[in-house]
Amino acid sequence: MPASPTTPAAPTPAAPTPAATAPAAADPRVAAARVDDLLARLDQLGENRTRVLAEEIVRALMEFYGSGLARLAQLTGDDTVRLWGADPQLGALLAMHGLHPVGTSQRVEQAFAQVREQLGSQTPTFEITGPEEARVVVVRPAVPPASPAVAAAVEDAIAVLAPEVTITVEGGRAEADDLAAGRTLLPVVGVSA
């Protein structure tokens, strides 16, 4: 029934724009901590079918999103991918999927350059070991044992620039919730293009 002259017609709701429906940007470090917490909670389930199924679901979703990112990278070209890599959130996402335009070693070097600016002579040394797909950064404190402030500075810098690596701090005490406890900051999923 058409609207009467005295009753205005109800406005038609506008379709939401992609920007209006997109989630707010998350800090990569906060996201990494949340993923780490969820993985720890999943580990508490023990070896059961629910845990195995949950891990398979996560793996399938990661592969799906990684394939999409790889395709976007192909379509947009190297210049755009370099811009994405320079963004902390997008760079972490690219690194998680093995798509970052800058190699892991170079990004770890950049992280330690930032730490050097912050800590000066207390800056630890480091070594990158392991194969390309499973890099480990071994941190050697300038003054053992590593202070919590030094460990936190290293973790923060690496979490932003190279979240796919595992960090091991020599001569430091790794707490249960410490990112330097020899774990990968974010899970890495290889994507075949």
Give per-residue pLDDT as tens, 162-178. Answer: 888 888 888 654 433 34
Q: Does residue 38 surpass a pLDDT of 90?
A: no
Burial of 162 (C-beta count, 10 Å sphere; 0-12/13-18/19+): buried
pLDDT digits (tens, 9 = 90+) for 95-119: 888 899 999 889 999 988 988 888 8
Query: Does 49 reside within a domain?
Result: yes
Which pTM value belongs to this model? Answer: 0.65
Helices 88-96 & 78-86, crossing angle to 10 degrees? 110
Query: Does 4 reside within a domain?
Result: no
- My answer on whether 111 and 89 are in the same domain is no
Query: Does 147 reside within a domain?
Result: yes
- Number of domains composing the chain: 2
Q: Does residue 31 surpass a pLDDT of 80?
A: no
pLDDT given for residue 180 in this prediction: 37
User: Tokens 């992280």 identify what position?
Assistant: 111
Query: Domain range holding 89?
Result: 28-101
